[in-house]
Amino acid sequence: MSMDNRKRPVVSSNSGNSVYWSSSFTRQPARILIVEALPPSWSETCMVLCDALENFLSLACSLDGPCRIPLLSLYAISRQQECLLPFVQVRGNLARLRSCVQELRSIPGEGCVRGAARGGELLRRAVLDSLQQFKQYIRHTGTGIQASNNISVEVTVVTSQPGRGVVRQLEKGLKDADLVSLKRLLVVQIYSAAEWGQDNPSPEDTHADTEGRD
């Protein structure tokens, strides 16, 4: 059995004891987060989402052991799709990550994007642009990331639109795209406080997960 299929010891920086990490744990895919910051719902979800994201990134940067998010890129969709954070290594870049979250917070919560179709097209472009950016990153980096077999990417879309409808839009818009590097595409629907008081739809409508190619 090769070392790639075993657990291997890693010395903890705190205790000096050997802690065993699965080698599959160390080969995590890069992550792309696409946040749909569309009014009017963005004004109600912005603070909670950005606070949660900042806390999560702070935790990810401070944990010992193999990093579960080796690379991260972040896109925002408002009146246009915009890359707020090109691919960076998560560990050691907390200041830059926090600056990106602050930029996300600054997106206005008022205004309009004309038509759901417009928002869907911006989302499709963001997914395609992020995948192209990942290919360029892999092409221009040294052997480090490739030596770790980290040549796949997961895309997470955070939206206030019905998740199942977003999945259908993406399936239609990406059917002819080159998705060879895409490991998974996850769509997460979030709600404002006012929406939680309404009748909640089924879990299938609130959380839609579509698998890319492994």
Write down the pLDDT at residue 2: 33
Q: For the segment 166-203, what is each residue's pLDDT rounded down to a tens digit?
A: 999 899 989 888 898 899 999 999 876 666 555 555 54
Rama region for 192: left / alpha / beta (φ>0; ψ in -120 to 50; rest): beta
Query: What whole-number distance in Å separates Cα of residue 55 and Cα of residue 60?
Result: 9
Asked which of 13-22, 50-59, 138-147 is least confident by mean pLDDT, the reply is 13-22
Write down the pLDDT at residue 17: 46
Mean pLDDT value across residues 127-155: 77
- Reply yes or no on whether the pLDDT at 146 is more than 80: no
Residues 53/69, Cβ–Cβ less than 8 Å = no
Residue 19 has phi, psi (to 5 degrees) of -115, 135
Q: For the segment 80-120, what is each residue's pLDDT rounded down to a tens digit?
A: 889 999 999 998 899 999 999 999 999 987 755 555 556 68
Q: For the segment 29-41, what is each residue's pLDDT rounded down to a tens digit?
A: 899 999 999 888 8
Write down the pLDDT at residue 69: 84
Summarize the chain as % helix, strand, coil (round to 5): 40, 25, 35
- Reply yes or no on whether the pLDDT at 132 is more than 90: yes
Residues 188/163, Cβ–Cβ less than 8 Å = yes
Residues 155/185, Cβ–Cβ less than 8 Å = yes
Residues 173/52, Cβ–Cβ less than 8 Å = no
DSSP 166: H
Give alpha helix (H) positions in the chain.
23-26, 42-62, 94-105, 116-140, 143-147, 163-173, 193-196, 203-206
Q: Which residue has the higher pLDDT, 47 or 142?
A: 47
Query: What whole-number distance in Å separates Cα of residue 120 and Cα of residue 115?
Result: 9
Residues 144/20, Cβ–Cβ less than 8 Å = no
